Amino acid sequence: MASLPEELDTRAPADQPGLLTTLLSIRHSWVATLGFCLVLFWVVIALIAPYAAPYDPNAQDFLALANPRPSSTHLLGTDMLGRDMLSRVMWGARTVLTVAPIAVVVAYLIGAVMGLLAGYYGGWTDAVISRISDIVLSFPVIILYLIIIANFGASALNIIIAVTFTAAPQIMRIVRGLTLDIKNREYVTAAQIRGESAVYIMAVEILPNARGPLIVDACLRMGYTTIAIGVLGFLGLGLPPPDPDWGGMVKDSVGLMSIYPHMSLIPAAAISSLVIGFNLLADGIRELALRD
């Protein structure tokens, strides 16, 4: 085997922050810190919901039907069926923070593989993958959601499939662009000269050094997915009742908003705060990356 030139750098750059390093550096940005605290708040709420929720989320208090407004018995009031709003919001957080991360992770697994293959091999591989992605991206996202959910039914699994199907091509484009840039770096060339396999180069040399932009995109995509879950719930295509679903809670009470605004505003505020948290976290991480 030919020896490597002495001036050829065989090491990947060390300036790309790892996930743990990124999390530890969040404290240096008030934007990232605020976003992290908002997300962490809802994560904690989701975790403690089975133990801290004052009522079963589907239990009905018929005495509260006469006055569903917030009271000492029901701190955030009840919905039109007498179900405790606080309990349903807490359990709804479990729904969002279970479905959204799974959907984003699955979308990233598929989109990253597609992007690595397209960017690394180029040629007909790139052409085929890019054309498939272009076809999927040519449809409005909400239309694809409606087609998938309407044909396969409303369930957590089908929501994950719908989000994955629409997000994977977008992720593919990002990973493909990063791969096209990184594959020409010296440490990738060194790995090729050493005889490393394409799988090794893509998984060890290219993908880890693209993680900075991907972490930012993943945070933003979590916000997009949270909105998508809320929209599907509002359209009646979210989790089937009586499971707590923030979007479904807004839909069920929208006709009573002028009389009992808390029924719509509370779950809407939950969706907004979680999305804002993810967006602030993404902005803060991007700010820290530019500062470095």
What is the rounded distance in angstroms from the CA atom of residue 31 to the CA atom of residue 19? Answer: 18
Per-residue pLDDT of the chain (292 residues; tens, 9 = 90+): 444 444 444 444 544 555 556 556 677 778 889 999 999 999 999 999 999 999 999 988 888 888 898 888 889 999 888 899 999 999 999 989 999 999 999 999 999 999 999 999 989 999 999 999 999 999 888 888 888 888 888 788 888 998 899 999 999 999 999 999 998 888 888 988 888 888 999 998 898 888 888 989 999 999 999 998 888 888 888 777 777 889 888 888 887 878 888 899 999 999 999 999 999 999 988 887 776 5
Identity of the residue numbered 290: L
Question: Other CB atoms closer than 10 Å to residue 183's CB: what's the count?
Answer: 19
| Those residues with Cβ within 8 angstroms of residue 87's Cβ, 6 or more apart along the chain or in another chain | 49, 53, 54, 55, 56, 57, 59, 244
Q: Which helix (H) or strand (E) holds 68?
A: none
Q: 220: exposed, middle or buried (C-beta count within 10 Å: 0-12, 13-18, 19+)?
A: middle
Domain ranges of the chain: 22-45+85-291
Q: How far apart are the first and last CA of the chain?
A: 39
What is the value of pTM for the model shown? 0.85
Report the interhelical angle of 262-291 vs 211-234 (nearest 10°).
170
CATH number for 22-45+85-291 (one of 1.10.1020.10, 1.20.1250.40, 1.10.3720.10, 3.40.640.10): it is 1.10.3720.10
Using alpha carbons, select from 110, 230, 235 the residue that is nearest to residue 161. 110
CB atoms within 10 A of CB 75: 12
Distance, in Å, from the CA atom of 76 to the CA atom of 89, rounded to the nearest integer, reads 9
